[in-house]
Amino acid sequence: MKSEFRRVALIGKYQTAVSGSVAGSARGALDDIALFLASQGCDVVLEQATAANAGITAHPTLNVAAIGEQCDLGLVVGGDGTMLGIGRQLAKYGVPLIGINQGRLGFITDIPLDSYRTTLTPMLRGEYEEDQRSLIQAQVIRGGACVFDALAMNDVVVNRGATSGMLELRVDVDGHFVANQRADGLIVASPTGSTAYSLSAGGPLLHPSIPGFVLVPIAPHTLSNRPIVLADSSEISIEVVSGRDASANFDMQSLASLLHGDRIVVRRSQHRVRFLHPKGWTYFDTLRGKLHWNEGV
How distant, in Å, are the alpha carbons of 110, 138, 178, 227, 263 from that of 238?
Answer: 33, 11, 10, 15, 5
End-to-end CA distance of the chain: 41
Give the number of residues written for the chain.
Answer: 297
Catalytic residue among 80, 110, 184, 251: 80
Q: Classify residue 192 by its DSSP letter.
A: G
The pairing of beta strand 236-242 with beta strand 167-173: antiparallel
Residue 91, amino acid: A
What is the 8-class DSSP label of residue 190? -
CA distances from 229 to 188, 204, 210, 214 (A): 10, 9, 10, 4
Spatial CA neighbour of 134 closest among 268, 283, 286: 268
Half-sphere exposure of 278 (CA within 13 A, CB side): 16
For residues 203-226, b (16+ Cβ closer than 10 Å) or e, as one string? beebebebebbbbbbbebeeeebe
Let me know if 80 is a catalytic residue. Answer: yes
Strands (E), 153-262: 155-159, 167-173, 176-183, 185-189, 212-218, 228-231, 236-242, 247-250, 254-257
Mind telling me the catalytic residues?
A: 80
